[in-house]
Structure 1
Amino acid sequence: MPTKVKEFNDYRAKMNDKILASDNKVIKRIFNLDTNAFKEGHLPVKTKELLGLVASMVLRCDDCVQYHLEAAMKNGVSKEEMMETMSIANLIGGTIVIPHLRRAVEYWEALEEEKSLTE
């Protein structure tokens, strides 16, 4: 049975392939800009992913939150750093983001579980 993480990544990859296959120049440029914005620069990738996580929480985009949680973990973010980042997101976003926090913590736990299976 596919895991929550695998389901999310498989769906995201499948739909991104379909979207990019439409060969729309504007969409391709937006995807490219997104990819390049999160590369190492004056800010480390880890910091950029935490910034993306806060913005995603405040905008209440669960897909974006999941994407940035996974990227953050891959870039060495600890659970404590993630929770501190989420506290800032909740402060800025208000109590309306608490349901997204619940789903984010659940997804982080799924990432931890998957990571423990591969180690």
Structure 2
Amino acid sequence: MSEDIKAFYDKYKKDMGKLQGLIPDTIKGFGGSFSAIMKDGALSLKYKELIALAIGCALRCEPCINLHVKKCLDVGATKEEILDAASVAVMMQGGPAFTYLPKVLDALEACGK
């Protein structure tokens, strides 16, 4: 994993711990919503993570891309599936999402793929 991406994950985890102490209701509320949605249902968790990644690309949210690439890999998505999902964002968002495809590739490479 690249040092930049590893540093991102480490800082994110540390910051979320701090925020848990500062704004526990917000963290608990978002976490509850996330847990209720991001589980197998009519769509598998893998497909939900791929959708979340595509939305992150469309919104040009680099932290979202970093987090959801890792989560996609954790639930068994392949590099090809991840890049295909990111490509859907390009179709829906156009050029701005297209410029974020290298960030998806960076996150994949940082995760060893």
**Global fold match (TM > 0.5):** yes
- The equivalent residue for 2:13 is 13
Distance 2:110 2:6 in 1: 10
How far off its partner does 1:9 sit?
Answer: 1.3
Shift of 1:30: 1.5
Q: Mind listing any 5+ residue stretches in structure 2 that lack a counterpart?
A: none
Which region of structure 1 is more displaced relative to structure 2, 64-73 or 28-37? 28-37
Tell me how far 1:65 sits from its aligned partner. Answer: 0.9
Corresponding residue for residue 116 of structure 1? none
Q: C-alpha distance in 1, partners of 2:11/2:87?
A: 29
Structure 1 range deviating more: 57-66 or 94-103: 94-103
SS at match of 2:100: helix
What displacement does 1:28 show? 2.2
The aligned runs of 1:16-31 (5 Å cut-off) are: 16-31=16-31
Structure 1 counterpart of 2:105:
105
> Partner residue of 2:4?
4
Aligned length: 112
> Could you state the TM-score of these two structures normalised by the residue count of structure 1?
0.84
- Give the drift of 1:105: 0.7
Which residue is 1:117 aligned to?
none
Amino acid at match of 1:97: A
Matched residue, 2:93: 93
Q: Distance in 1 between matches of 2:98 and 2:62?
A: 12
**1:84 & 1:3 partners in 2: Cα distance?**
26
Deviates more, 1:19-28 or 1:65-74: 19-28
The equivalent of 2:69 in structure 1 is 69
Deviation at 1:27, TM superposition (A): 3.8
Identity over aligned pairs, percent:
27
Alpha-carbon separation, structure 2, partners of 1:68 and 1:95: 21
RMSD, matched Cα? 1.6
In structure 2, do the counterparts of structure 1 residues 87 and 23 end up closer, same or farther at CA, with 3 Å as the change threshold?
Answer: closer
Query: Which residue does 1:59 correspond to in 2?
Result: 59
Query: 2: distance between equivalents of 1:31 and 1:22?
Result: 15
